[in-house]
Amino acid sequence: MSKHPLLVRDVLKRKHFESAKLIAGQQGLNRQVLWTHILEIKDFDTLINGGELILTTGVGLQLERETQIAYLENLIRNGAAALCIEIGDYFNYVPAELVAMANAHDFPIIIFEEVVRFIDITQDLHTYIINQHQQALTQLDTISRTFMELSLMPNGILKILQVLHQDTDALFLFVSEDTKSFYYPIEAKKYLHLMEDHCQQLELHEPIQLMSIDKDHFVIIPVNGLGQVWGYLCMRSALPKPSDYTLLNLERATMSIAQILMRNRMLQERQQSREDEFILALIQGEPIDLQYYQSYLPMESRNLFYRVVVFNMLDYANTFSEEDWQEIQLQNVMFVRSIIKKLGFFPTVSVRQHEIIILAFYIAADDMEENRDSFNQAIQQIVARKTPQLFEQITLTFGISNVYQSINSVQQGYKEAKTTIQMQHNELASSIYYKDLGVYRLLLHQDHVALLQYVKDYLQEILLIDQKNGNDLYQTLCVYLACNGAKNDTAEQLFIVRQTLYKRIERLENILGADFLQAPHRLNIEIAVKAYELLKKTAPDILRF
């Protein structure tokens, strides 16, 4: 690695190559020389890594022509930089077939017609390469500090592009969907729309992408923050592939740009106090002046809908200091807001000690107002992109309300989302949607005493028998109902033989009636079962039979 890599053309200018002749591969003089290697054997696949300047006296080339051709093919295939041959006792000329092959692959062949000391060549070139490497490390350290300093200054991204241009003489752009795009120098502007269009199509999993359009070569590196791509640093270069030094330099620049974007987003989130105030007033049912808060709401539309989404984080806040938790929550909000905005939502967000509340507005056709696919996709992306910095060691629980249009329904939507989360915690429901709670939506609004009486009316005798004798009549009833009266399936799920099941069903029929599987008796019993399960989780102290 060096800022100015050693090329074959540079090697030919060194002292020990004054008498050397280039006899093939004139178009390959820009090949980079990473090291030198003396190679006198024909089988060397595992001995070179690529980029070596190969030195040989021709001992391995004395064999038949096919072996000579295979030797050169092997060098080209393994990415050697060039071949230097000492013409003398072991090898007195380079055959025309080898010259033609080298020209076809732009692979330089250099000959020495006088005796040369390979040890002098390797010592000279290795010293140069190592010194260049050390200088590059020093330069990288210096420019990294420069990037860090610029990241704290106004208009830092543009200044970073300017430093990159000064260091490489290439054209640079930074493009992003969320922030202003930048370019430097002015000539780079003509590539702005091209890069914006291209980057919109990208779903980069690789850290670097190389792209060539006619004679223009581009390097595109994603700028990552909070587990997401926030933009792309683009370099237009004359070379198809930049040097390792340039790539390392670009990676350091992207880290500094990410810090600028992170700081700007955190400042924006901290300035959302009125947004937080707005949501808090709505969920508490307080009167509000909508005109005062209009900037936090999308334009009214007949097809504008919203759901209240709540992310619950249990009691993890207690494991952090208040200052650290506020910082964690701030980053969490930035992360969530970015994802749902990209999915077409217009979010209004509030963060509280243990939860994040989102009014997720969206436009949809009347027959598509549920929009579950987008909500499911948002939740999946949030869960999938959890990183050590985001929601660290935190178990998230999600609750999503019904669909509303009137802003006056936010309080109701918040209660629905919270209820959904509570039902998940109680293991009475697995869905994140309030609509999927079924009959629990009715039972939750009932007085506990009234629910207990309902349970007693239908299930008391069964529950008392189980308490007294240790039987499993209640479990049998639940499974039998779930299996829709299928005896084989019921027996399999209960892990009992059919004769035992028949005896239990006969006893249930004696208590509930022979037609307990028929409507409306079955509906009454199933509701009683749901009410009993709900009371076990929410009011176990009153369950006395």
Domain 273-437 fold: Alpha-Beta Plaits (3.30.70)
**Confidence label for 45 from pLDDT (cuts 50, 70 and 90):** low
From CA 428, how far away is CA 25, in angstroms rounded? 75
From CA 515, how far away is CA 404, in angstroms rounded? 42
As given in the structure block, the two tokens for residue 210 are 């190389």
3-state secondary structure of 398: strand
From CA 331, how far away is CA 390, in angstroms rounded? 7
Tens-place pLDDT, residues 524-534:
999 999 999 99
Q: How far is CA 440 from the centre of its chain?
A: 37
Percent of the chain past pLDDT 70, that is, above it, reads 92
* Vertex 122: Cα angle to 120 and 125 (nearest 5): 105
- Domain limits of the chain? 8-127, 152-265, 273-437, 443-542
Q: Indicate the Cα dihedral angle 334, 340, 345, 351, nearest 10°.
A: -40
pLDDT at position 424: 93
Asked if 156 contacts 150 with a C-beta cutoff of 8 angstroms, the reply is yes
CA-nearest of 271, 266, 267, 297 to 282 is: 297
**Confidence label for 388 from pLDDT (cuts 50, 70 and 90):** very low
In this prediction, residues 382-406 reach a mean pLDDT of 75
From CA 37, how far away is CA 48, in angstroms rounded? 8
Strand order in the sheet with 304-312: 346-351, 355-363, 304-312, 397-400
474, burial (CB in 10 Å: exposed 0-12, middle 13-18, buried 19+): middle
DSSP 8-state code for residue 65: H
Asked if 126 contacts 134 with a C-beta cutoff of 8 angstroms, the reply is no
Asked if 408 contacts 325 with a C-beta cutoff of 8 angstroms, the reply is no
Is pTM, for the whole model, over 0.75?
Answer: no
Q: Which residues pair with 348 in a beta bridge?
A: 359
Asked if 479 contacts 467 with a C-beta cutoff of 8 angstroms, the reply is no
Q: Which residues pair with 224 in a beta bridge?
A: 229
Radius of gyration of the chain (CA): 37
Cis peptide before 185 (omega within 30 of 0): yes
Strand order in the sheet with 209-213: 182-184, 171-175, 228-237, 216-225, 209-213
In this prediction, residues 21-42 reach a mean pLDDT of 90
Residue that wins the pLDDT comparison between 330 and 235? 235
Q: What DSSP assignment string belongs to 301-331?
A: -TTEEEEEEEEE-TTGGGGS-HHHHHHHHHH
Cα→Cα distances 121→37, 50, 111, 118, 149, Å: 10, 18, 14, 5, 42
pLDDT at position 361: 93
pLDDT at position 385: 62
From CA 316, how far away is CA 195, in angstroms rounded? 42
Q: Which residues pair with 275 in a beta bridge?
A: none
Mean pLDDT of the chain: 86
Asked if 70 contacts 88 with a C-beta cutoff of 8 angstroms, the reply is no
Tens-place pLDDT, residues 109-150:
999 988 889 999 999 999 988 888 888 788 888 888 999 888
Q: Which residues pair with 37 in a beta bridge?
A: 54
Phi, psi of 50, deg, nearest 5: 110, 140
Identify the helix (H) or strand (E) that includes residue 518.
Answer: none
**Confidence label for 80 from pLDDT (cuts 50, 70 and 90):** very high
524 Cβ contact partners less than 8 Å away, ≥ 6 residues apart? 458
518 Cβ contact partners less than 8 Å away, ≥ 6 residues apart? none
Domain 152-265 fold: Beta-Lactamase (3.30.450)
The answer, yes or no, to whether residue 319 has pLDDT greater than 80, is no
**Confidence label for 233 from pLDDT (cuts 50, 70 and 90):** very high
* Vertex 51: Cα angle to 47 and 53 (nearest 5): 80
Cα→Cα distances 21→39, 110, 139, 463, 470, Å: 19, 5, 35, 101, 99
Sequence letter at residue 72 = L
Asked if 334 contacts 263 with a C-beta cutoff of 8 angstroms, the reply is no
Sequence letter at residue 513 = G
pLDDT at position 217: 87
Cα→Cα distances 295→115, 205, 232, 310, Å: 82, 36, 29, 22
From CA 346, how far away is CA 360, in angstroms rounded? 6
Tens-place pLDDT, residues 144-171:
899 988 888 888 999 999 999 998 889 9
CA-nearest of 74, 80, 45, 42 to 61 is: 42
Tens-place pLDDT, residues 196-223:
888 877 765 567 888 887 778 899 999 9
Domain spanning 8-127: which superfamily? HprK N-terminal domain-like (3.40.1390.20)
**Confidence label for 337 from pLDDT (cuts 50, 70 and 90):** confident
